[in-house]
Chains A and B, each alone.
Chain A
Amino acid sequence: MIYDRIEFQAKPFEYKLHFTTRITLVRGDSATGKTYLYQLLEDVKQLDAYHNIKLFNYKSDDFHTSLWACRGKFIVIDNGDAILEEEDKKFINFEKTNEQRKQPGYIGRCQSSDSRESRYLLSGI
């Protein structure tokens, strides 16, 4: 089960993340909280409800191998500009089990609960 919504509280804010596409890019000025969101998700993933979250950043061991092994995960990547190679980007964009879910007009939209499918939250891309 991949998540369309991730909702939690971390004072002083309440977070309601709603995802409508298979790949979500988080962009913005520096110091607006992209990495902070990643760090919050490090805690959120400890909850049973969100155990399919898989997090990667520049500290991750065997990043490329681990990324390519992911199936049925909600993948969150911080420092994407620094750690993603071209082959990783192709994997994210075109990996077959994910590509099959694309629908006309809803490129990348998740239409299935197929457990092999992964979702991506790419921070700072």
Chain B
Amino acid sequence: MSHVVDRHGAWLVSLLMVVGCMILPAIGFAADSTAAGPTEYRDIPYIGSRNLIWIVAQLHLLLAGFVLGVPIFAWLCEIIAWKGGEQRYDKLAKEFTKLLTSAYATTALFGGILLFLLIVFYPKLMNYLTDIFFPSFLLYCLLFLFETATLYLYWYGWDAMQEGGKKTLHIFLGFLLNFFAIFIMIVPNAWATFQSSPVVISEGTAIERAWAATWNPTWWPINIHRLIANVVLGGYICGAYAGVRYLAAKTAADREHYDWMGYVGNFIGVFGLLALPFAGYWLMREIYQYNQQMGITLMGGFLSWLFIIQAMLIGVLFLGSNYYFWLGITYRIPGSENQYRKPILWMLISLLLCLAVWMTPHSLVASIEEAQKMGGAHHPLLGVLGVMSAKMTVSNLMILITFMSFVMYWRAGKQDTAPWARLAKAVMGAILALASIAVIILGVWGYFVPAIVRINYFSTSQVAIVIFVILTITPLTALLLKSAKTTTDMVWGRMPPRAGYALVLNAVMVILLMALMGYARSSSRVHWHIYGVMRDTSPYAYSPALGSASLIMVFCTFFFCLLVAFIFWVATMGDKAKGVQGTVKQDLPHGIPAMAGGGPERGEG
């Protein structure tokens, strides 16, 4: 034992020495200041202050999204268990809440590092922001105290508050946890959005000034967008965790549990994903309304290619989520694969066509030679598909298709018995067909009306139509299935390994999207710390090209995945020890390889 400790000690010392050697050059920090004034910027050799801030800020944001998304996810699961009586949801909620203590600590660690780095590298900016926002800095600290206290009560009181009124109290604690968490998100959102869309700060008290700056045009669009995105992130990370555990599952019980967990994670991810494009559209609309220049920089300027990449990532996410539903129909509900093969094929073709339109570029920055080759600023053939009218139409159609995938999955293996079932199905079919036609008509009509009419009326009508479809077909299907006869029971633990990889892919796509859009939002400020108010005069007052930026995004995504894996590993370490003591390793049926979906015969649980 002591030998092991010695060896680890030596390893640690070596590591510290290497880190020390790397840090040595940093003693020569560069400091930029005016001749007589205070230091405005400091720099760090090799990596550069901006890159270091970028990486730490991105990791902090991703972790923050995770720790804000997980409590929402856990609380929803706890409520489902509380109301529906299915205890496995309660177990799932507890399993994820367990992560929160270590996840919060890691998030706070990166938040602290970020704060120190900002003070060190960008003192001028931090002085300015502190001067405006210091009342909300204090509020932020207070919120952390409340959040931490609530989390301790929520987590440590889980087992003690399981019955009767105590359970209600526990649910209320879960509500408080999310309530404080949302405020912890929206307070710093004000600081970040003020940098992008500052407002005139008039004279007044410190609180009045802070409030004026907080209530800036993009604050609420970002709040809503991030709130939904956090739910999506929490859901898909849960799914990815389940996917990894499923791939490594050695017993049928584990496979069933992690298959089910993957389903729940994917469902909650998709649930948020359906609403996310609407929130994103609102945000872009507010950006355009605030400053058209910024909107054009994003959509038609040097960031225009970024939105093509974004469309591709979102497309992969939609395809991945649908693919997982389709795998579920095929493998969990035996006998359904033939029934749904054709609709699945049509859905796949429709999704790919929609994705192709969404990815069509329009207002790209082209050189004179490129423009001459195309015969104008826009491609004569593809330009017509690259406009917002077409993109809004296909994004709405993709949401409709994904929703129908879910409904199909929901209905699979069940036979309607209600006398009005035929009528209800006809109504649902008509609603879906009419809605799709209406969305397409509005999209085509959008070409012939002024942009302001399209933005204010047509696009919002398309969104309203899709929401109407979701809000009518969901309760109708639920009513229909209430009296339906189950012909084939859902069989968990049968999914092939590629289902686990699909879940991991979805999570990676969401994380990459967050990293990509973080770069977009920051770059849209171009050479300003605070747009139009405080100019970035540092040597890093430029936005790098997408290619080199993508490598930093890749690093952040990879490192974040490792951090999350570490958090899961730490949190479940105790369970594994208990499991080894309490259970005997079970052989798999028929001696199949210990890989999930390795081919157990149909009919076995």
On whether the two chains bind one another, the answer is no
Interfacial residues, chain B to chain A (CB-CB below 8 A) = none
